[in-house]
Amino acid sequence: MAEIRRIGVLTGGGDSSGLNAAIRGVVMRAADYGYEVLGIQEGWKGLVQGIARPLSVEEVREIITVGGTMLGSSRTNPFKKEGDVDKCKANVEALGLDAIVAIGGDDTLGVASKLSELGVPCVGVPKTMDNDVNLTDYCIGFDTSVTVAVDAVERLRDTARSHRRVMVLEVMGRYAGWVALVTAMAGGADWVLIPEVEPDLDAMCNHLVKLRESGRPYGVVVVSEGIEVPGMGDDAEEEVDAFGHVRLGLRGVGHVIGKEIEKRTGIPTRVATIGHIQRGGSPTVHDRYHATRLGMAAVDLINKGEFGKMPTFLGGEIKVVELTEVTSKIKTVPQSLYEEAMTLFK
Ligand code: F6P
């Protein structure tokens, strides 16, 4: 194995709280091995353009409390534009990088996996508030996001109670319903709609009416931005990013559901979409602790020469998985967990 002297670290995709904790873990562990660390700016864009700067222990010492990412992020996909992969390879040489830690979700990790196969030594770290990275129980940012969303449920329930209304809360989560499901269960919401399960609007509305008739004239419904409602947005022009993802927030699915509830039940209904509020703010203890450990574990992999891999939390322990397997599919909510949640809607 070639001697490691300098490593790069980057954060790609949508930001989430806990990224700085992971960067700090990387820099601290790298110091143990005597590696220099370069912070590659704005995800893969920084590698395509060769923009990176040294990161010192002093600089990262206190960033654990800060939301966002000190490196910046982007949704740049070097495999999308001809010549960009060659630019990445050339910049790895020019910057003198012996390995790269790529912190990101499915898309960022997919690039890391492919670059590894092309001879650029990469390791991954799982990050996404969506919590949908395969082969890990934990993704950086999820805990902070659901903490924010649960707080929103509680605030919405207060105003719903005052006005005897239904409040619909639309949360992020793209193709996986983890954020919505955990928010609904932990926030004590009255219904949840997730992309993995076809929405049963009749069942939801009957439940809300039953609640009202039983003397509880208000409720909170949590809706994941990625649900499909028949007939919705068929003629809408959908904007996609470099990885082909539609901007789901623009579809306004929460409002579609809110209108349906009002139309079908006659219960006054209002809608709140918290969007990117879920992605910012100081990370929770859970995110700080786990992100730190994953950042350190990623550097341990580099030290062992285990490229094309990712440290992961499985069953409470740090394990190592192959990036090709990680990126072969996303982790969605199992039907059994959805059924557990349904038990709570009484
Ligand atoms: O993948 C993370 C995520 O926050 C999704 O939940 C959401 O659909 C998307 O990013 C929003 O992306 P952007 O920051 O580009 O609006």
Query: Which regions of the chain carry the CATH code 3.40.50.460?
Result: 145-278
Of 266, 270, 271, 272, nearest to 213 (Cα)?
Answer: 266
CATH number for the 6-140+283-326 domain, one of 3.30.1360.120, 3.20.20.20, 3.10.310.10, 3.40.50.450? 3.40.50.450
Q: Residue 161 phi/psi, 5° resolution?
A: -65, -45
Of 326, 333, 304, 325, nearest to 121 (Cα)?
Answer: 304
For ligand 1, atom 3: residue with the closest CA? 14
* C-alpha angle 289-113-296 in degrees, rounded to nearest 5: 25
pLDDT of residue 237: 66
Give per-residue pLDDT as tens, 101-153: 999 999 999 999 999 999 999 999 999 999 999 999 999 999 999 999 999 99
pLDDT less than 70: residues of the chain: 233-237
- Helix, strand, coil tally for the chain in percent (to 5): 45, 20, 40
Query: Which residues fall within 8 angstroms of residue 14, CB to CB, at 6 or more apart?
Result: 73, 75, 105, 128, 129, 279
**Is 130 among the catalytic positions?**
yes
**Considering 15, 106, 130, 190, which one is annotated as catalytic?**
130
CATH number of 145-278: 3.40.50.460
With b for 16 or more beta-carbon neighbours within 10 A and e for fewer, the 5-32 pattern comes to ebbbbbbbbbbbbbbbbbbbbbbbbbee
Q: Which residues line ligand 1 (CB under 6 A)?
A: 14, 105, 128-130, 172-174, 225, 247-248, 279
Give per-residue pLDDT as tens, 216-236: 999 999 999 999 998 776 555
How far apart CA 300 and CA 226 sit, in angstroms, is 36
